Structure 1
Amino acid sequence: MTAISVSNLSKRYGKIRALDDVSLELEHGEMVALIGASGSGKSTLIRHIAGLEAGDGQAGKISVLGEVTQSGGRLNRNRRGAVSVIFQQFNLVDRLSVLTNVLIGNLGRVPRWRGTIGYFHRCERNKAQAALTRVGIPQVAAQRSSTLSGGQQQRAAIARTLVQEARILIADEPISALDPSSARRVMDVLADINTQDNITVLVSLHQVEYARRYCKRTIAMRDGRIVYDGPSTALSNAFLAELYGDASEELVLPDAPAEPMPVMPFGQTSRMAVHHLNA
């Protein structure tokens, strides 16, 4: 089954064209990296797939798990619960315990009155505790969220998505504010969820070496357009240097594998096609 399908999606903010006729498909169970310099359109694309924003015009269309979630510039929220999003900022409530923050993932499936007073059944609490165990931080359940490290907070946010039971997980730069050790732990958790639960994962990354290490497929964006969609192993350092410009020295490790990129005829419509960055 196709998990996510985006066709001819465009979005403009004033004179800025954030998305320019973007089309892509993610198959169920894939773990795909989304890369590109700041302002390339990654976060805007994620917001549209998550159902947080509608595209422009009549041509753009997004389907999630076979159901149209937006078309013609209008949102259809029927499948919104199937997609869970984690952000760089964690979005935990500092004054609440970690366990309560994870339990908040139930709010879309429990009566409003229970959510309002924070009443959760024992089975829901057990499930939240199991989610914390799954991401490797069961010992912090009773702590206030504000006492956790950045990496622990991000893993708590991932535990909350497990409680939501979404079938698609989108992570918008989840490790950009973390140290390398914490970043690896977060990426290990995402990879485990993808492999063990067969959950589709789309993860936006600045650190290209993580895309190469954890994702078989990478989609690269520049100026609101997809300029590469193919194997992560085929991302050459020369291509990445052009993609990121002056920032490439910080984002691409010098010892990262530099394999030749696939050469395909201009105009090829396969998702493996590589497009010229200045097209």
Structure 2
Amino acid sequence: MTAITVSNLSKSYGAVQALKEVSLTLARGEMVALIGASGSGKSTLIRHIAGLETGDGASGKVEVLGQVSQAGGRMSGHARRGKVAVIFQQFNLVGRLSVLTNVLIGHLGRAPRWRGTLGLFNRHEKEKAQAALARVGIPQVARQRSSTLSGGQQQRAAIARTLVQEAEILIADEPISALDPSSARRVMDVLADINGKDNITVLVSLHQVEYARRYCKRTVAMRDGAIVYDGPSTALSNDFLAELYGSASEELVLPDAPAEQMAPPHKAEPRNYQTALMSA
């Protein structure tokens, strides 16, 4: 069963076409990397999947967990929107609140509005939030103000909030681009863990290509608003990545994955990827 289906989605901002008839399918339980240079359309695509923007024209459509999220440039109020969680590079925690309270905010979609307004959470909800912090490896910071945490700890707290939300899909827009290598690995380890153990579908936009190779079996590459590659991460050659990123490739492609050890990438239709896996 599919988690995300994007069909012929286009988006323009004035004279700039950010998405060009993009089609993409993610199966439930996949962990997929989304790569591409700045301005390639990654964040725009993520915002449409997350229901934060609508596409242009009558043909574009986004389906999430089997229900239409948007179609024909209009958003639909499907009931499963709360099953999609989004984390961003900026963490989006309330700095003056405790880490535990920030994680508890994940309950707001299910708690009565008056309890959410007053910040009243019951014992079960607090225990669940504490368990989520333990799951991402930072239970000891629960009572600290979130502003006192390191960047990597803040991002893991944001992931803990999605666990409390009981999301079935986690979309991460460059969640490690502002982190040092050690913190970035911890965050990617957490994403891989909840994908593998909880069967949560993960779509993660990455600026550092090597993390796509290490953590995601499948990579989708974008350029100029279109998908130019959709297939196994192991098939991403350094030559292809140099073409994709241009002069920035020296900083984004690490030397421990030499091109001669990889097959050249091939263009693939997103809808055929799962079929190819099954027949392999």
Q: TM-score, normalised by structure 2?
A: 0.94
SS at 1:48's partner residue? helix
**8 Å CA contact 1:24, 1:271 repeated in 2:** no
Matches within 5 A, 1:67-216: 67-78=67-78, 79-216=80-217
The CA deviation at 1:77 is 2.8
Per-residue displacement from partner, 1:59-113 (whole Å, max 9, x unpaired)? 0001011111100000013121111000000000000000000000111110111
Within 1, Cα distance between the matches of 2:84 and 2:258? Answer: 33
Unaligned stretches of 5+ in structure 2? Answer: 275-280
Name 2:256's counterpart in structure 1.
255
The CA deviation at 1:270 is 3.3
Name 1:38's counterpart in structure 2.
38
Within 2, Cα distance between the matches of 1:257 and 1:214? Answer: 17
**8 Å CA contact 1:51, 1:77 repeated in 2:** no
**8 Å CA contact 1:19, 1:44 repeated in 2:** yes
Matches within 5 A, 1:5-44: 5-44=5-44
Within 1, Cα distance between the matches of 2:135 and 2:238? Answer: 35
Name 2:278's counterpart in structure 1.
none
Structure 1 segments (4+ residues) deviating >6 Å: 266-269
Per-residue displacement from partner, 1:15-72 (whole Å, max 9, x unpaired)? 0000000001000000000000000000000000000110000000010111111000
Q: Could you tell me which amino acid in structure 1 is paired with residue 58 of structure 2?
A: Q
Q: Could you tell me which amino acid in structure 2 is paired with residue 150 of structure 1?
A: G
Per-residue displacement from partner, 1:155-206 (whole Å, max 9, x unpaired)? 0000000000010000000000000000000000000000000000000001
Within 1, Cα distance between the matches of 2:258 and 2:137? Answer: 30
Per-residue displacement from partner, 1:111-147 (whole Å, max 9, x unpaired)? 1110011000000000000000000000000000000
Q: Could you tell me which amino acid in structure 1 is paired with residue 39 of structure 2?
A: G
Q: Could you tell me which amino acid in structure 1 is paired with residue 25 of structure 2?
A: E
Name 2:236's counterpart in structure 1.
235
- Percent identity, aligned pairs only? 80
Within 1, Cα distance between the matches of 2:60 and 2:264? Answer: 30
Do structure 1's residue 245 and structure 2's residue 237 form an aligned pair?
Answer: no
The CA deviation at 1:260 is 1.7
The CA deviation at 1:261 is 2.0
Q: Could you tell me which amino acid in structure 2 is paired with residue 261 of structure 1?
A: P
Structure 1 residues 263 and 90: alpha-carbon distance in aligned structure 2, compared to 1, 3 A threshold: closer
Structure 1 residues 154 and 209: alpha-carbon distance in aligned structure 2, compared to 1, 3 A threshold: same
The CA deviation at 1:212 is 0.1
SS at 2:17's partner residue? strand
